[in-house]
Amino acid sequence: MASSRKPKPNSADGVEAAVGAALKPLLFPRARLVLGLSGGLDSVVLLEVLRRLTGQLGFRLSCVHVNHGISPNARRWAAFCARHCKRHAIALALHEVDVEHYRAEGLEAAARRARYQVYARQQADFIVLAQHSDDQAETMLLQLLRGAGVKGGAAMPLMREQDSGRKGKRTRAPAILRPMLALSRKEIEAYAKANKLKWIEDESNADTRYDRNFLRHRVLPVIGQAFPGYRATLARAAGHLAEASQVLDQLAELDAKLAVNGNKLVLAELRRIGVARTKNLVRWLLLQQGDAAPEADRLQEGLRQLFQARVDAAVHVPLGACELRRYAGCAYLLRPLVEVPGELRRDWDGNRVWSLPELGGTLHFVRGPGAGLDCALIGARGLSVSLRQGGEKLRLRSGGSTRSLKNLLQEARMPPWERERLPLIYCADALVAVPGLGVASGWQARGGNVGWTITWRRQE
């Protein structure tokens, strides 16, 4: 007679049941799961569990191992993972990464960033990671000790969407799954011993110079003496913060509908919703485009200048990967701008997409009848670009007045930083077109004449 009792949490069946229960509501038939396999205890146990669940849940399983090149044993760990996967006929992708580019963030953060960039490039539906309830407690405490807000305090969710991180693209990458968050390190160790699993030990895990290891070996054992249920308690607190974070995201989405217009934030609306909601909106906008939330003091200073600086003051506050600027009643969240070159004179090579990295963008040429810059008038003289030097004039309509380019750009409400980097189109010494304004009178394609319509796109 089958027993109705649930399996004990520290039994083999209990571990597999906990992982299966976490995965079942999220998976679909033939889902592609890629396990992040380090070769350590946790990921080896998760591989064994997933291997046993493939038939029951109907997913496809492979592994990825990331060699950070930090430990002298790194290649030995990669070889262990290769042998382990081969033994079970599971495909393994091996990747070596260079963490030097991110060293300024600290070694742990640099390794994590490089690792997650590899994960984002995997051909999979889900990246499965082996963090457990002890890791969750450590992460939450670390975030709080670093002054994290609601989103940081929520620690690690069971599932998290991520972006590919590829420059110039915003594409969906495999979601991150952590199906062992309900299990403790002790339960995972018991499962490994019961199934006679072998794994490798990372010598750095004992080094208490790292913040996480200091908490793990020095702080949490003491907390556990007075609060033996701290794992569940912190997990519950993280859940409350996760719910609060969702509410704040929904509020930001509502605020964005009124306050955000294209790449601009309307200052009147920001004043209406107040500083706290504006901070929440800015953080949400940055996270939506794949950037980290700015440091609290930088964001506070940015909003102080945004709301309190003189109307004619140039507001420019760096916020991590972006910078905050202000013009004509609007705020702008922009990528850092390239320095304006002292002089610029470039001849067009005839390509329909003309990259101008020194100005931070590209010119796009579309050929068609009756619009744009008359091709016949250009002839063999070709086109070139230059920057404003001052004193340029332009007439946009036949019979209209010739106006200063400065006044035309101001009337077009073009921000000053865009004016400084705007390529002006010349044919010989004549200013014939200004992207965003139009083509000079006398150079416009009329009737059936073929012309070039030229647009300027700043690199985002």
Assess whether 378 and 297 both reside in one domain: no
- For residue 166, pLDDT over 60 is answered with no
3-state secondary structure 375-389: HHHHHHHCCEEECCC
Q: The domain spanning residue 312 has which CATH number?
A: 1.20.59
Assess whether 77 and 108 both reside in one domain: yes
Specify if 240 maps to a domain.
no
DSSP one-letter code for 57 = H
Separation CA 435–CA 288 (nearest Å): 29
Specify if 308 maps to a domain.
yes
Separation CA 361–CA 364 (nearest Å): 10
Assess whether 21 and 150 both reside in one domain: yes
Short-list 332, 322, 355, CA closest to 417: 332
Assess whether 266 and 386 both reside in one domain: no
* Residue ending a domain, choose from 232, 248, 281: 232
Specify if 253 maps to a domain.
no
CA dihedral 78, 84, 86, 92 (to 10 degrees): -50
The token duo for 96 is 């070596």
Query: Chain-wide mean pLDDT for the chain?
Result: 90
Q: The domain spanning residue 153 has which CATH number?
A: 3.40.50.620
> 426: which strand partners?
384, 431
Separation CA 158–CA 238 (nearest Å): 12
pLDDT band with cut points at 50, 70 and 90 for residue 170 = very low
Question: What is the pLDDT at residue 12?
Answer: 66
Helices 185-194/12-23 angle, 10° precision = 120
The token duo for 4 is 């109705």
Mean local confidence (pLDDT), 386-391: 92
Assess whether 93 and 156 both reside in one domain: yes
Mean local confidence (pLDDT), 9-37: 90
Question: What is the pLDDT at residue 95?
Answer: 95
Separation CA 242–CA 150 (nearest Å): 7
Dihedral angle sign, alpha carbons of residues 203, 208, 211, 213: positive
Report the 10 Å Cβ neighbour count for 174. 21
- Provide CB contacts within 8 A for 148, sequence distance 6+: none
Assess whether 271 and 408 both reside in one domain: no
Question: What is the pLDDT at residue 85?
Answer: 97
Question: What is the pLDDT at residue 8?
Answer: 46
Give pLDDT tens digits for 410-421.
999 999 999 999
Assess whether 83 and 141 both reside in one domain: yes
Instruction: Give me the percent of the chain exceeding a pLDDT of 70.
Output: 95
What domain range is 319 assigned to?
Answer: 262-334
Specify if 245 maps to a domain.
no
DSSP one-letter code for 183 = S
Assess whether 323 and 373 both reside in one domain: no
- For residue 171, pLDDT over 70 is answered with no
- For residue 31, pLDDT over 50 is answered with yes
Give pLDDT tens digits for 227-247.
999 999 998 999 899 999 999
Specify if 15 maps to a domain.
yes
What is the domain count for the chain?
3
Assess whether 158 and 114 both reside in one domain: yes
Give pLDDT tens digits for 309-331.
998 898 999 998 899 999 999 99
Give pLDDT tens digits for 330-364.
999 998 888 888 788 999 999 999 999 999 999 99
Specify if 249 maps to a domain.
no
Assess whether 406 and 381 both reside in one domain: yes
Question: What is the pLDDT at residue 140?
Answer: 93
Question: What is the pLDDT at residue 165?
Answer: 53
- For residue 190, pLDDT over 60 is answered with yes
Mean local confidence (pLDDT), 49-57: 96
Give the pTM. 0.79
Assess whether 184 and 129 both reside in one domain: yes
Specify if 18 maps to a domain.
yes
Assess whether 61 and 152 both reside in one domain: yes
- For residue 168, pLDDT over 60 is answered with no
First to last CA, the chain: 65
Specify if 353 maps to a domain.
yes
